[in-house]
Structure 1
Amino acid sequence: MSLSARIFLLYVAFMSIAGYVLVNSVLNEIKPAIRQTTEETLVDTANLLAEILREPLKTNRLSDVALTDIFSAYGQRTLVANIWGVDKTSTSHRIYVTDAAGQVVFDSADVAVGQDYSRWNDVYLTLRGQYGARSSTEVFNGEPSSVMYIGAPITDQGKIIGAVSVSKPNHTLEPFLEKARNRLILQSVLVIAIGLLLGLLFTWWLTRELRRLQQYALAVAQGQRPALPIGKVTSGELNELATALESMRVELEGKAYVERYVQTLAHEVKCPLTAIRAATELLQSPMTAEERQRFIDNIDSESLRMQQMLERLLDLAKIEQQQGLNTRKAVDVSELWQAIIEGQAARIVQAKLQLSNHLTDPLVVQGDPFLLRQAFTNLLDNALDFCPEGGVIELYAQAGPATVTLTLTNTGPQIPAFALARLTERFYSLARPITGKKSTGLGLNFVQEVAVLHAGALQVGNIDKGVAASIQISIH
């Protein structure tokens, strides 16, 4: 399982557990909170009625027609109220009054007058000067529902002469509970969904940053020279990690680079030095003028070979250390190729070669003109070296949406199968068919490095009756 999937699943698990615990806790608190609010309202109502009913209870006028009509009218009122989206059309309070002994002397529901309620907690505790409240189960429209009763003492000159109780069925609170529960669940789902989306975005961002570092490290491990992902990696800590990786790469690559070059240079210089030393020793012996000149020519030839090798190595070492192009400008490759061909005109005529340049229209790319000129010159030199007298060399281009591919073909011997995979290998070279000599083996390696710096590639392969070398260059 990928790191991003693990992070996201862990985040989903955390959000799910936290969301469930939070929502469940809040849901469990909604019903008690609403009932506590209702109870507080019933306390206020009961105490207000206790003050109103003091005189009627004291003077035994609770059964007066006027008072009975008031409570009867209250119970029959049609209400027009919309409370938080819930329509309320009728009252739900029941009010009854007891005397000091707990006998019901008034009941708005007219069902308990004359009954002894002295054992009910709302009456029992209230008549003793304590907070009186009880909850009982009753049936409403065939459905059982708990009913909350709150009592308040009716006093006269500091003496409790009775109690008034106000009740409210809990089923009347259910619409509000359901409304609050649904709203909470909806909001919780939205919050969790937003949290998961943010978690997904965070996971994507983090894994994108780590993936860039991973790609950079893999490219380094494969011997490439990737650009340091600073700027693309936005996290400060990850930027520091990228810088540390780059520093480590430079240090390790520098040591390996020097070691590799010393070894290869020592190996390649060994042969010409041996030839020069042998020729020098032979020159000390008696010989004819013709033989002496031949050994002097050998020394000159081997010295020139070492000089070319060192120059090519310096150019190659310089370009191999570049992470990107130091110079980038518009270059017309058609014009550049024309100048290179004109510079080799004498050699082309001398070898009786036919060179067809099909780059007739301007073809502009963004690149380093000096490096491109060196790379193109190397390709043409190779074609001239391997093209037999009277042969044909052709140059043409294929433009794509983002790249230009320049292909140079020449007739002549094809590349042996065993050499195809090694053509761009440093110091690897095939003998020229005309002279039988090998080059430094650094030309195609240099061309490949230039192509990579221009976000392209080099391909060399056999075609019918010859060889084709293609260099791909990014337009932008």
Structure 2
Amino acid sequence: MHIGLRIFFGFFLIVGLAAFLTLRVFVQEVKPGVRQAMEDTLVDTAHVLAVLAADDLKSEHIADGAFARRLARLREDKVDANVWGMHKDAVGYRIYVTDERGIVRFDSGDAGTSATGATGADYSRWNDVYRTLRGQYGARSTRADPDDDASTVMHVAAPIRDDGRIIGVLTVAKPNVTMAPFIARSQRKILLNGLLLMGGAFAIGLACTLWLVHGLRRLQRYARAVAAGERAEMPLRGASELAELGRAVQGMRARLEDKQYVEHYIHTLTHEMKSPLAAIGGAAELLQEDMPAADRGRFAANIGRQAQRLEQMIRKLLALAALEQRQRLETRERVALLPLIGQLLQELEPRARQRELSLRLLPPAQPDPAVEGDPFLLRQALANLLENALDFAPAGSAVDISVEQAGATTAVRVADQGPGIPDYALPRLFERFYSLPRPGGQDKSTGLGLCFVREIATLHQGAIALANGARGGACATLTLPSA
């Protein structure tokens, strides 16, 4: 299973289970909580009414005295109340009074009806009356219909006293069903809020999972690019654990690359230095012998050329090493190509004239082609391509430079009329120290120029390509992002 799904399901399972258990507890506690609150209210009501009924019970006028008349009038009065959105139109109490033997002496009947005829009945065995007569807290919950669990009625009793002696019991009864709408509404609200909570947890879990998976995927792509030897920038920023992991990978990569880089460059540099050092050593041995002045001058000149080649190789190798270690451009600005190419052509004009070559900048289709990048590096890349073309172009020919802008990219082409590139050399042109023989017996180059151009193109998110022209010669194409 994908790690994102594992994280998401694990998070949602924990939150969902916690929410489910919490909701279950809340829903299960609503009904007893409401009934406990109702019982507390009935206790207060019973004690208040017991005090009011004491005088009529003592005078044996509890059934027809002032207390009974006031309760009868209460049944006739209309009730119009809005209790938290629930409409109430009748008093829901039933009140009955028993004497000290538990015989019912007064019964108000069910709410909104006349007396039910319980007067004279023996309630001494009912828990509310039985316990209260003995000075205990008396209450009971009894079904009005033995077959209907929803018909339970709560009875709460209070003692009627005369000088501290219990002379009777007043019981207030209220059907539990009257509280059912409040219980149902509370349960609905709890369930609704619970579903909203779970929905919020789902959204938060999904967002956190996507954020984590997105960071892991970016880090994964970075690690793959590093493993493939590509130039890649660490994509994560900030102080998060993923960013710290990314920086650790970046540091490890830097140390490993530095070690490999040094080993590789020492190997290649020593390999390439063998030839000029051997030439210098051979010429130095010969100069120790007696020889004509012309030969001595020729060997001395050869030592100078090989030393110059070594110096040029080391200088270019250091520049290439510095360039390869860069992960991104430090300078990025709009670079107009025509002025830059024009300046390079002026600098290379003496060299071209010496070799009887002409440099031609073909007019572009766009009035002012420009690219985005580092002007210094772009100048070096174009200079390498032009110098390469001058080395291979035959005397009396021309080197053509053209600029073509197409949408988001701009291509600079440098074409010569030389012998072209052999098929065997095409796959190796961008290898370090690989160089083809120059026409006319010229010395081979260091073989680092095209590597240098490729690194500059990669830094600019561009590309460099070399191919044989349709009419002969070679054509180098440097493609860069347009400004």
TM-score by length of 2: 0.88
Q: Deviations over 1:403-448 (max 9, x none)?
A: 5332333444443444333322211223334547532110011111
Kindly indicate whether residue 110 of structure 2 is the aligned counterpart of residue 137 of structure 1: no
Give the direction of change, closer, same or farther, for the CA distance of 1:89–1:406 in structure 2 (3 Å limit): farther
- Report the CA distance shift for 1:104/1:414 in structure 2 as closer, same or farther (over 3 A): farther
Distance 2:193 2:108 in 1: 42
Point out where structure 1 has 5 or more consecutive residues left out of the alignment. Answer: none
Q: Residue 251 of structure 2 aligns to which amino acid in structure 1?
A: S
Please, which moves more after superposition, 135-144 or 404-413? Answer: 135-144
Matched, 1:318 2:322: yes
Q: Name 1:260's counterpart in structure 2.
A: 264
How far has the Cα of 1:12 moved from its partner?
0.9
Q: How does 1:216-365 map to 2 (within 5 A)?
A: 216-229=222-235, 232-284=236-288, 294-349=298-353, 350-353=355-358, 355-359=360-364, 361-365=367-371
Q: 1:140 to 1:365 in 2, by over 3 A?
A: farther
Q: Kindly indicate whether the alpha-carbon contact (under 8 Å) linking 2:104 and 2:121 is maintained by their aligned counterparts in 1.
A: yes
Matched residues in 2 for 1:275 and 1:462: separation?
34
Aligned partner letter, 1:250: A
Work out which of the residue numbers 154, 160, 168 in structure 2 matches 1:154: 160
Alignment correspondent of 2:23: 23
Shift of 1:472: 3.2
Match of 1:203 among 178, 200, 209: 209
Distance 2:421 2:262 in 1: 31
Residue matched to 2:9? 9
CA-atom RMSD in angstroms: 2.9
The alpha-carbon distance between structure 1 residues 258 and 148, as it changes in their structure 2 partners (threshold 3 A), is: same
For residues 198 and 310 of structure 1, what CA distance do their matches in structure 2 show?
A: 58
Instruction: State the match for 1:48 in structure 2.
Output: 48
* Aligned equivalents of 1:311, 1:142: Cα separation in 2: 101
The letter of the residue matching 1:358 is: P
Question: Which residue identity is paired with 1:60?
Answer: E
Pair 1:357–1:434, CA change in 2 (3 A) = farther
- TM-score, with normalisation over the residues of structure 1? 0.89
Aligned equivalent of 2:404: 397
Structure 2: unaligned runs, 5 residues or longer = 110-114
Of the structure 1 ranges 457-466 and 283-292, higher mean CA displacement relative to structure 2 is found in 283-292
Q: Partner amino acid for 2:249?
A: L
Moved more, 234-243 or 28-37: 234-243
Answer whether contact 2:415 2:474 (CA < 8 A) is retained.
yes
Residue 240 of structure 1 and its aligned partner are, at CA, apart by: 4.1
What letter corresponds to residue 443 of structure 1 in structure 2? G
**Secondary structure of the residue that 1:428 maps to in structure 2?**
coil
Alpha-carbon offset, residue 7 of structure 1? 1.9
- 1:34 corresponds to 2:43: no
Deviation at 1:382, TM superposition (A): 2.0
Q: Which moved more, 1:156-165 or 1:275-284?
A: 275-284
1:74 aligned onto 2:74: yes
Q: Percent identity?
A: 44
Contact kept? 1:383, 1:393, Cα under 8 Å:
no
- Matching residue of 2:380: 374
> Does 2:477 match 1:473?
no
Per-residue CA distance 1:315-355 (angstroms, 9 max, x = gap):
11222233333444443222111111222224445444563
Matched-pair contact (CA < 8 Å) for 1:212–1:233 = no
- Bigger mean CA deviation after superposition, 182-191 or 71-80: 71-80
Letter in 1 for 2:375: P
Query: Does the Cα contact within 8 Å between 1:358 and 1:397 map onto a contact in 2?
Result: no
Aligned partners of 2:143 and 2:149 also within 8 Å: no
1:366 shift after superposition = 4.3
Q: Does 1:64 align with 2:64?
A: yes
Distance in structure 1 (CA, Å) of the matches to 2:75 and 2:474: 107
Which one-letter code corresponds to 2:343 in the other structure? A
* Alpha-carbon offset, residue 145 of structure 1: 1.5
Letter aligned with residue 123 of structure 1: V
The alpha carbon displacement at 1:381 in A equals: 1.7
Task: Give the conservation status (yes or no) of the 8 Å contact 2:56–2:65.
Answer: no
CA gap of 1:411–1:186, structure 2 versus 1, over 3 A, is farther
Further displaced range: 352-361 or 378-387: 352-361
Out of 126, 129, 133, the position equivalent to 1:123 is 129
Q: Is the 8 A contact 1:394 1:410 kept in 2?
A: no
Shift of 1:14: 1.0
Per mean C-alpha deviation after superposition, the further-off stretch among 378-387 and 173-182 is: 378-387
Tell me the alpha carbon deviations over residues 228-271 of structure 1, each in whole angstroms, 9 at most, x when there is no partner: 45xx5222544544443343333322222221111100000111
Residues 168-189 of structure 1: per-residue CA shift (max 9 Å, x gap): 1111111111111111111122
Alpha-carbon displacement from aligned partner over 1:33-54 (angstroms, at most 9, x marks no partner)? 1000000001111111111111
1:91 match = 91
In structure 2, the CA distance between the partners of 1:144 and 1:319, relative to structure 1 (3 Å rule), is closer
The answer (yes or no) to whether the contact 1:147–1:170 under 8 Å persists in 2 is yes
CA gap 1:142/1:134 in 2 versus in 1, 3 angstroms: closer
Give the secondary-structure state (helix, strand or coil) at the position aligned to 1:78: coil
User: Residues 99 and 163 of structure 1 are in contact (CA less than 8 Å); yes or no, is this contact kept in structure 2?
Assistant: yes
SS at match of 2:405: strand
Distance 2:12 2:173 in 1: 46
- For the structure 1 residues 373 and 89, does the alpha-carbon distance in structure 2 shift closer, same or farther, using more than 3 Å as the test? same
Residues 45-95 of structure 1, C-alpha deviations (whole Å, 9 max, x = no match): 111111111111111112217544433343354322222222222222111
Q: Which amino acid aligns with 2:404?
A: A
Contact map agreement 2:405 2:482 (CA 8 A) in 1: no
Q: Aligned letter for 1:194?
A: G
